[in-house]
A and B are shown apart, each in its own frame.
Chain A
């Protein structure tokens, strides 16, 4: 009853083609943005901002990048973290080596560098598919961090290979407090998410989906496979690169190529799968889920143990967490293989009728 598009007439193509064609969606989106920009900074504690919201936004961006590649263009990649590493290290070096380089510019350049590298590692996708490709992207995952660590020029010859990132200052305004960092990341992520939403319904987005669904058929109808796939790799890596730059310089505050390991790639893949393959919203939901779940388990388990009067040694809680995490993932895939985004959609459909379903 509250969520119905009936009665909303589109009288022009522009109106029909807008990003959120349903009025309720527009209102909800706007409300969400207002909430995120105006309300959250007021009520959220520093802990929530720095330890939950910041990584959530950054990971959402990376998941978005991977979702473009895997969800829309159908190319499975296990090398996300490597492209993030490229973005992070490139952004650091652009800032370090080009005097007067604006921070945002370095993020963009970092993303572009990642895009170039992404194209390079996307080349095999022209020949190979599926798991062969997935394992091939592992080559990027292992090679790139190695290279970044090995060539000490990348880390400004620091003996340990770990460098502290430069402070983020834009137009003389220092983004140093949790609230400021949060707002900066929020702005970047929101902009890039909107751009992605637009991109996937453009001709290139449709070409991606055609290639994903059946590449031979796509070729027959005149889509240039090579170009389409490489663009997917480039755009995806760009997103991942920017996410990596944000991750290193805004969230962690230090750049360490070793930190961008396979585990991180898997985490981001989890976000995409659990959030919903081929869904922008899903990337956000998945990122929220994977970021929040360990923290929630961390709280839930000791609390439950106390309730049941169990004296759990610290080691046991960590193990139980691992088990529960694994089990939840399996449960999730079984119950809702299309991810949280699908649950959301079901919810929306219910809302059309609710509370009078008959």
Chain B
């Protein structure tokens, strides 16, 4: 039983890490209907820029963080200006392909600037078990994961405040609900998109720092996007809450499956289990957990 809880808690915490990446997808999809496949590359780009700047300048953490954030905002604005604006009104799949192109571009660019070496990112937090819990309950909980979960919680809180309480946030929600109507009441659509992409860049930065501290900053960071996709289908593309809940469910289910089901079929099922789970779930609820139900009319 202890072991079960250990796996469950570990899974839930891992799920938070997936949610972090999924959040970036949701933000952009909500506001502009773009399925941004470059989110994974953005995570990589952010982490690499952060480590690169740290290495080159030797400035303290917070200043480098601010600099990287500035770079990510610039990236968001440029993406809107160069990629999205000329593609307005194109079918979704075209935009999707454009973001794949963008991800190639970002992957190449970041490695061109900072080199392809594997780097370590030190947030000053070791990935170790918490001793107290270990002694008291014999359950292993990682300090790092707990901290990551806390960061994710704060991030979601900040985003919630941003979306609900600020002017820009309200405009964002208006755009998400109905582009045409938002335009009609005078919300500057393109500006909003720039902001959304910048916010997604910020989320990518946070995800990049946490994932990078975990696995080292290297190309494989781009693959974290693949972990986020089932979270998206499960949670719904348009729901921030869905990204969080979906992440928790996927994380827990995936770990439990690998531990309890994996050995029966030869293991290594994590790569697809989340997708299958999401697929089965979709058959029951095609719009995801918190997605918007669409009604087709002729």
* In-complex A–B contact (CB below 8 Å): yes
A324 CA / B272 CA spacing, docked (Å): 32
A215 contact set on B, CB distance < 8 A? 296
Q: Are A330 and B108 in contact (CB under 8 A)?
A: no
A135 CA / B102 CA spacing, docked (Å): 19
Q: Are B265 and A150 in contact (CB under 8 A)?
A: yes
* Chain A contact residues: helix, strand, loop or mixed: helix
B101 contact set on A, CB distance < 8 A? 325-330, 333
Q: Are B230 and A135 in contact (CB under 8 A)?
A: yes
Interface residues of A in 293-349 (CB under 8 A from B): 315-316, 319-330, 333-334, 337
Which of A14-22, A125-133, A244-252 touches B?
A125-133
Taking CB as reference atom, which chain A residue is nearest B33? A131
Set B94, B115, B298: member contacting A216, Cβ < 8 A? B298
Known: A128-B282, A130-B92. A322 touches B230 (CB 8 A): no
Taking CB as reference atom, which chain B residue is nearest A328? B101
A134 contact set on B, CB distance < 8 A? 35, 96
Which of A39-47, A94-102, A136-144, A231-239 touches B?
A136-144
Most chain A beta-carbon neighbours within 10 Å: one of B108, B109, B298? B108
Known: A131-B35, A150-B268. A329 touches B233 (CB 8 A): no
* Chain B contact residues: helix, strand, loop or mixed: helix
Taking CB as reference atom, which chain B residue is nearest A331? B101
The answer, yes or no, to whether B70 is at the interface (CB within 8 Å) is: no
Q: Are B282 and A320 in contact (CB under 8 A)?
A: no
Q: Are A319 and B112 in contact (CB under 8 A)?
A: yes
Set A127, A146, A266, A324: member contacting B269, Cβ < 8 A? A146
The answer, yes or no, to whether A195 is at the interface (CB within 8 Å) is: no
The answer, yes or no, to whether A108 is at the interface (CB within 8 Å) is: no
Q: Are A333 and B104 in contact (CB under 8 A)?
A: no
A325 contact set on B, CB distance < 8 A? 101, 104, 108
Q: Are B297 and A216 in contact (CB under 8 A)?
A: yes
Q: Are B94 and A132 in contact (CB under 8 A)?
A: no
Known: A124-B282, A136-B278, A142-B275. A323 touches B109 (CB 8 A): yes
The answer, yes or no, to whether B257 is at the interface (CB within 8 Å) is: no
Q: Are A132 and B265 in contact (CB under 8 A)?
A: no
- Which 7 A-B pairs give the minimum distances between C-beta atoms? A322-B108, A326-B104, A326-B105, A329-B101, A142-B272, A139-B275, A323-B108
A-B contact pairs, 19 of them (CB 8 A): A131-B35, A132-B233, A132-B287, A132-B288, A138-B229, A142-B275, A143-B276, A216-B297, A217-B298, A273-B93, A316-B112, A319-B112, A322-B104, A322-B111, A323-B104, A333-B98, A334-B87, A334-B98, A337-B91
